[in-house]
Amino acid sequence: MANKKVWFITGAGRGLGLDLAKSALAAGHTVVATGRDPSKVAAAIGPHDDLLAVKLDVTRPEDAQAAVEQAVAKFGRIDVLVNNAGNFFAGFFEELSAEQVRQQIETLLFGPMNVTRAVLPLFRKQRSGLLITISSTAGISGGMFCTAYAAAKFGVEGWMESLAPEIAPFGIRTMLVEPGFFRTELLTAESTTYANPSIDDYAERTRETVTAWNSMNGKQGGDPAKLAAALVQLGGLAEPPVRFAAGADAVQAFEAKANTLLAQANTYRDLSMTLAHDDA
pLDDT digits (tens, 9 = 90+) for 250-263: 999 999 999 999 99
Residue 131 forms part of a structural domain: yes
pTM, two decimals, is: 0.93
Which of 5, 136, 149, 202 is the catalytic position? 149
Phi-psi map region of 104: left, alpha, beta (phi>0 left; psi -120 to 50 alpha): alpha
Cβ-contact 2, 77 below 8 angstroms: no
Domain range for 211 is 6-272
Cβ-contact 195, 100 below 8 angstroms: yes
Cβ-contact 13, 37 below 8 angstroms: yes
Residue 1 forms part of a structural domain: no
Spatial separation of the C-alpha atoms in residues 96 and 77, rounded to whole Å: 41
Provide the mean pLDDT of the chain.
93
pLDDT digits (tens, 9 = 90+) for 197-224: 889 999 999 988 888 877 776 666 678 8
Confidence of residue 161 (pLDDT cuts 50, 70, 90): very high
H/E stretch holding 21 = helix 15-26
Here the CATH number for the domain that contains residue 178 is 3.40.50.720
Tally of structural domains, the chain: 1
Q: Which of 94, 145, 122, 87 is nearest to 8 (CA)?
A: 122
> What is residue 183's predicted lDDT score, i.e. its pLDDT?
62
Three-state DSSP state, 30: strand
Residue 280 forms part of a structural domain: no
Cβ-contact 138, 91 below 8 angstroms: no
Residue 278 forms part of a structural domain: no
**DSSP H helix total and E strand total for the chain:** 10, 9
268 is annotated as an active-site residue = no
Q: Which of 112, 201, 197, 191 is nearest to 158 (CA)?
A: 112
Which of 5, 153, 194, 202 is the catalytic position? 153
Residue 45 forms part of a structural domain: yes
Residue 93 forms part of a structural domain: yes
DSSP state of 46: -
> What is residue 17's predicted lDDT score, i.e. its pLDDT?
94
Residue 258 forms part of a structural domain: yes
191 is annotated as an active-site residue = no
> What is residue 148's predicted lDDT score, i.e. its pLDDT?
96
Which of 5, 135, 136, 202 is the catalytic position? 135
Residue 190 forms part of a structural domain: yes
| Greater pLDDT, 174 or 14 | 174
153 is annotated as an active-site residue = yes
Query: For the chain, how far is it from start to end, CA to CA, in angstroms?
Result: 59
> What is residue 212's predicted lDDT score, i.e. its pLDDT?
83
